[in-house]
Amino acid sequence: MSKELKHSFVELLETHQNIVHKVCRLYTNNRDAHNDLFQEITIQLWKAYPKFRGDSKFSTWMYRVGLNTAITLYRKSKRTINTQDFQGVEFKIEAQEFDDTEEQQLKLLYKAIHQLNDIEKALVFLYLEDKNYNEISETLGISEVNARVRINRVKTKLKTILNP
Amino acid sequence: MDELEILKNHWKKEQYPYPKLTYAELYQMILRKSSSIVKWIFIISLLEFGFWIGISFFMKDSTFHDNMKDVNLESVLVPISIISYIVLFYFFYLFYKNYKTISATDNAKTLMENIIKTRKTVKYYVIFNLVTIIIGVIFGTYYVLNNVPMVVEKLELASANNQEFKVYASFILGVVLVLIIVIVLLILFYWLIYGLLLRRLKINYKELMKLDSN
């Protein structure tokens, strides 16, 4: 593939890499696994890029490829089958905005999310990214009504995990 | 406040858990090789096609084939080989067509279905081969028992000694046993390879179906 194509892709990826990091954030629980998944998503994005026509936003297109890789395409390598918790890696949140309680709460929330199955995590991800039910249903290939119902169920499930 | 809402409020403000990757690092990444399950399915499927083609070549060169020639069965074997090659090309065409439809930009459900469909094409080819082998062995056994002079002689001798049933039974039992061993080994092999490779995909597909069913 041409150099220009590579250049334009890497530039876009550099700008939007946060999306890939966030997908990895929900689906992996240690640094090696994060890097592995990030690598695979990047390759899948690059493979699909020549067909990217720009009729959707690059970021929207990235969600889809990122989630598809995490849910379906990614073959977990041995070293990623690791039950080690994500506690060792903390997301830095702008300090002035949070007190300890909030930070603690977020940590627990991420821990709870890691207990969800892959599809539920995808629902959570799309919800957090503020995608509407139509986009959620299109990304996963389910009906809009079911997307709505399932988001509510995931919320209830998270509540149960957090407050047993 | 809803737990997920709390996270949503903070989601956008989050920074990278790891250092932001540079242009050069990302550039290097896209040059690396994928290790996705689709790639593995493609490689394994090619090996499977190769394996069955290899088996047919092996059979051609074997003494079994010469024996068939001796008993004038070549007129049957040639059309069978032609049919098996046509079937092979048909399955390979289907496999490649399905493989090409796999796209990471489809929705999750379509992507999973296309992967499963591609995999199934090869599975059906393997089943076709196994069924052919079983039918071949049944006919082969029948033919050998009735037409191969050495075997017919042994059977006549056994018949004279009133041991006809014993010889028939041990011959058929031996053939069945070998068939069972081969099939069990193949099933085990498949269960191991695809069980491990597709386990997660199957779980997620089931989950997605459940999600969309009620």
Chain A hits for B100, CB-CB cut-off 8 Å, are none
**pLDDT > 60? residue A103:** yes
From the list A125, A11, A121, the residue with the least C-alpha distance to B30 is A11
Can you give the pLDDT at residue B65?
A: 65
A91-164, what's its fold?
Arc Repressor Mutant, subunit A (1.10.10)
Residues B200 and A75: their CA atoms lie apart, in Å, by 9
Can you give the pLDDT at residue A143?
A: 92
Residues A131 and A136: their CA atoms lie apart, in Å, by 6
Chain B interface, mutation test: which of A72, A154, A159, most B Cβ atoms within 10 Å? A72
- Mean of the per-residue pLDDT values for chain B? 84
The mean per-residue pLDDT over the stretch A71-81 comes to: 69
CB contact under 8 A, A69 and B197: no
**pLDDT > 60? residue A96:** no
Range(s) of chain A covered by CATH 1.10.10.10:
91-164
pTM of this prediction? 0.81
CB contact under 8 A, B3 and A42: no
Q: Which amino acid is at A55?
A: D
Angle between helices A144-162 and A118-128 (to 10 degrees): 100
Q: Which amino acid is at A125?
A: F
Residue B133: pLDDT band by 50, 70, 90 thresholds? confident
DSSP A13-74: HHHHHHHHHHHHHHH-SSHHHHHHHHHHHHHHHHHHGGG--SSS-HHHHHHHHHHHIIIII-
The mean per-residue pLDDT over the stretch B175-182 comes to: 92
A1-89, what's its fold?
Rna Polymerase Sigma Factor; Chain: A (1.10.1740)
Residue B58: pLDDT band by 50, 70, 90 thresholds? confident
Task: Pull the structure tokens for residue B164.
Answer: 């006809």
Residues B199 and B207: their CA atoms lie apart, in Å, by 12
**pLDDT > 90? residue B57:** no
Residues B211 and B205: their CA atoms lie apart, in Å, by 10
Can you give the pLDDT at residue B184?
A: 92
In chain A, the residue whose alpha carbon lies closest to the alpha carbon of B30 is A43
CB B53 within 8 A of CB B88: yes
**pLDDT > 80? residue B14:** no
Neighbouring C-beta atoms of residue B78, cutoff 10 Å:
10
* Minimal Cβ distance to A18: which of B3, B16, B40: B16
Residues B73 and B86: their CA atoms lie apart, in Å, by 21
- Prediction ipTM score: 0.81
Scored b (16 or more CB within 10 A) or e, A143-160 reads: eeebbeebbeebbebbee
